[in-house]
Structure 1
Amino acid sequence: MREDVDHHIADALSRPAVVRLDSHTLCLRFETMKVASALEAVRYLLERGTIEHGDTLVDSSSGIYAHALALACHRYGLHCHIVASTTVDLTLRTQLEILGATVEPMPPSASLKLDQSRRVARVQEILRDRPRYHWMRQYHDEVHYRGYRAIADLVRAHVDCSRLSVVGGVGTGASTGAVASFLRETSPGVELVGVQPFDSVTFGSEHVHDPEIIIAGIGSSIPFDNVDHTLYDTVHWFGFDAALSGGVALLREHAIFAGLSAGAAYLAARWEQRVDPGRVCVVLAPDTGHRYVEAAYSRHASAARPEELEPRQIGALSEMDLPWSRMRWGRAEAPPGAVGPGVSRSAAGGQSVAVAS
């Protein structure tokens, strides 16, 4: 058998399609980006003896991580228990169940904030009742950084990193933050541009309410302990309408059907290149657009064209507003309320996983 043949679909899904959008823009388009993270995290935990074959891994998810963890558990012979957000649709839930995962959906909620808080509380209840379950802590444990070293190597192989910006959703920090950290090992000047929704505590936008927020996964109503704010040079905050504009443009102009966070990242990259025309941007597209069809892409005819939009440039978090704001973060510390108590950045034992080999 040829050595380059994958032995499990998860191995193939951990690698993105690499698409050159123009001479200064590369898009890494994943089907499920967090597969790269989950696979390596599970492999590492097995290697260390933290978990064993046959154990049950549990976590909360709004969709992408649920799929990734279920695939990793299938790959390594583990059980999987997902406390699922209300945003997990029937298509994904059916896949998870057939893969062997236990899917525990949360009841309908008045807000994503309440949904997220309930999910975390439910995970903690499960752990009290089943002490041998292992909580993957995707929101808190830096072990999830490890899988993105291969993605950084892929970027390094395709672009000159001397004037490079990595642009993508912040989420738990274990995608954009990790890719930038690994690239900076050889190119310290790599810039990191984070994309956030409004209504998120991660970069202090919780005071701006977006009534149509469905950009699940890239922001949070609770502190994410594995976000390292000091990695980020610039932050863009997007509302639903602006993110939809970017998503429609990415599909119309480049035939890439991706999620709303990818649309927001595409707009952010276009703007960063306008500010610095010589800059190369790598846009991370973490998922496909299928789960956003009914709530978002079906409204494509009303989406503004990117050239009709520009960000509100702000110097303080109190100045941000819909539909799109931008701020030079300058690798500053976390804003108040963005980091939980007792945060440790030594999840792998004594050093940041973000720079561990």
Structure 2
Amino acid sequence: MFDHIADAMKQPDVVRLDRNMYVLRFEMMKIYSALEAVRHLLATGVVQPGDTLMDSSSGTYGYSLALACHKYGMKCRIVCSTKLDDHVRRQFEMLGAQVDRVEIPPGPMVDKMDQGARLRRVAQILDTEHNVHWMQQYHDEVHYLGYRECAEMLQKEFGGEPLTLVGGVGTGASTGGLTTYLRELNDDVELVGVQPFESVTFGSDPVEDPVASISGIGSPIVMRNVRYELYDRVHWVGYDSAVTATTDLFRRHALYAGMSSGCNYLAARWEAARDPGRPCLFIAADTGHRYTDTVYSRPQGEARVEELAPRCIDSLDQLAFPWSVMDWGRRPFHPVSKENPS
């Protein structure tokens, strides 16, 4: 029995989809990191009961933080973009969160300007208000802590056998946290990161996606929670390929998931075929409901997923749209942001 709905919602399911391909399916993955981060900050005295916990988010982290604040009796403030769905905004507010929308003039650069504008608003709030703690999901390693529990569950599920984990990089905390704790328990865990084009995180920012940027798994700013030395391989996936994979995941396996899940599924299909004797587990971080009117409303006629194949490259200057893959080799990387990284 759970004491709060957030504790129940964070629990994932492991589902076998093919001979050696599995999915780690969440209702909302970032609840893991938000719950443990808030608990840890209270236990260590970094924040006090009743303080306001704030972060920039237009997606699942904002919802996860609102749930964590609801559980622990903290005030919550979410700085978001105007792209935030009204249904989600109302849920934030009913959970007690204050929603601070950042207006950006319409135009072709709106997606690229969004994250930097939100962070500038965060800085303004910190300068003018008291008892507000910025959670810094992008930078504070406290967000790694919650994934120890999930790693221990996976260790029991797979019995310590070799494992390839595929996941969207995003802030770095989910794939980084899971892999860090899994490797403490099992020395044969490969980590495969998935990125969109136009993200500075693994250096794909010079390559433009002509359709749209995929939110949630990449960024125009430098995120300090990304530990590059953890990653064995990286896939870069374009928007149209992601749509094809996301809808195929639903049609073929009845898994209604978000766009990052589709990207991970596409990469995992390639990884599983590459080494048929090795279990390959990809992350489905949330459900597909945010994409009902976009990804899932696309007309029939996209390319079949079997027709998609990556370009295997040896260096970042060979990156090519719509899908590239490169052995990363757990090496360091120092991205340069065009936005304010603070």
The secondary structure found in structure 1 opposite 2:11 is coil
Aligned length: 339
What is the Cα deviation at residue 341 of structure 1? 11
2:42 aligns with one of 26, 43, 46: 46
**Structure 1 residues 50 and 40: alpha-carbon distance in aligned structure 2, compared to 1, 3 A threshold:** same
Return the offset for 1:160: 4.2
Residues 19-168 of structure 1 correspond to what in structure 2 (within 5 A)?
Answer: 19-109=15-105, 110-168=109-167
Structure 1 residue 211: deviation in Å?
Answer: 3.0
Q: Aligned equivalents of 1:321 and 1:62: distance in 2?
A: 29
- The alpha-carbon deviation at position 342 of structure 1 amounts to 11
One-letter amino acid of the counterpart of residue 96, structure 1: F
Give the whole-Å Cα distance in 1 for the aligned partners of 2:312 and 2:245. 18
Cα separation, 1, equivalents of 2:327 and 2:139: 25
Structure 1 window deviating more from structure 2 (233-242 vs 334-343): it is 334-343
Match of 1:245 in 2: 244
**TM-score normalized with structure 1 length:** 0.91
**What is the identity, as a one-letter code, of the residue corresponding to 1:211?**
P
| RMSD value, Cα | 1.8
In 2, are the aligned partners of 1:62 and 1:217 still within 8 Å (CA)? no
Distance in 2 of aligned mates of 1:120 and 1:207: 22
Compute the displacement of 1:214 (Å). 4.3
Q: Runs ≥4 in structure 1, deviation > 6 angstroms? A: 338-343
Which residue number in structure 2 is paired with residue 314 of structure 1?
313
Q: Distance in 2 between matches of 1:21 and 1:87?
A: 33
Q: Which deviates more from structure 2 when the two are superposed, residues 126-135 or residues 220-229? A: 126-135
| CA distance, structure 2, for counterparts of residue 178 and residue 237 of structure 1 | 21
TM-score where L is the length of structure 2: 0.95
Q: Check the 8 A contact 2:166/2:280 in 1, yes or no.
A: yes
Q: Distance in 1 between matches of 2:153 and 2:72?
A: 25
1:17 CA displacement: 2.4
Whether the 8 Å contact between 1:197 and 1:213 is mirrored in structure 2 is no
CA deviations over 1:277-302 (Å, ceiling 9, x no partner): 11211111111111112222211513
1:287 counterpart letter in structure 2: D
Contact conserved, 1:139 with 1:224, CA < 8 A, in 2?
yes
* d(CA) in 2 for partners of 1:68, 1:238: 26
Q: Deviations over 1:248-268 (max 9, x none)?
A: 111111111001110010110
Quote how far apart the aligned CAs of 1:85 are: 2.4
CA distance in 2 between counterparts of 1:257 and 1:248 reads 8
- 2:180 is aligned with 1:181: yes
Q: Secondary structure at the match of 1:175?
A: helix
Q: Does residue 277 of structure 1 match 2:273?
A: no
1:340: how far off?
10
Partner amino acid for 2:286?
A: D
* Structure 2 CA distance for aligned equivalents of residues 220 and 62 of structure 1: 13
My pick for the range that moved more, 12-21 or 187-196, is 12-21
Distance verdict in 2 for CA 1:191–1:257, change over 3 Å:
same
Aligned 8 A contact 2:261 2:283 in 1? yes
Partners of 2:231 and 2:58 lie apart in 1 by: 24
Partner of 1:102, secondary structure, is: strand
Q: Is the 8 A contact 1:243 1:260 kept in 2?
A: yes
CA distance in 2, matches of 1:339, 1:118: 12
Counterparts of 1:271 and 1:13, CA distance in 2: 30
Residues 223 and 341, structure 2, Cα contact 8 Å, conserved in 1: no
Q: Where in structure 1 are there 5+ consecutive unaligned residues? A: 344-357
5+ long unaligned stretches in structure 2 = none
**How far apart, CA to CA, are the structure 1 residues paired with 2:141 and 2:179?**
14
Distance of aligned partners of 1:162 and 1:204 in 2 relative to their CA distance in 1, 3 Å threshold = same
Post-superposition Cα deviations, 1:127-169, rounded to whole Å, max 9, x if no partner, equal 0011320000100000000001111112112114432111010
The one of 2, 11, 21 aligned to 1:15: 11
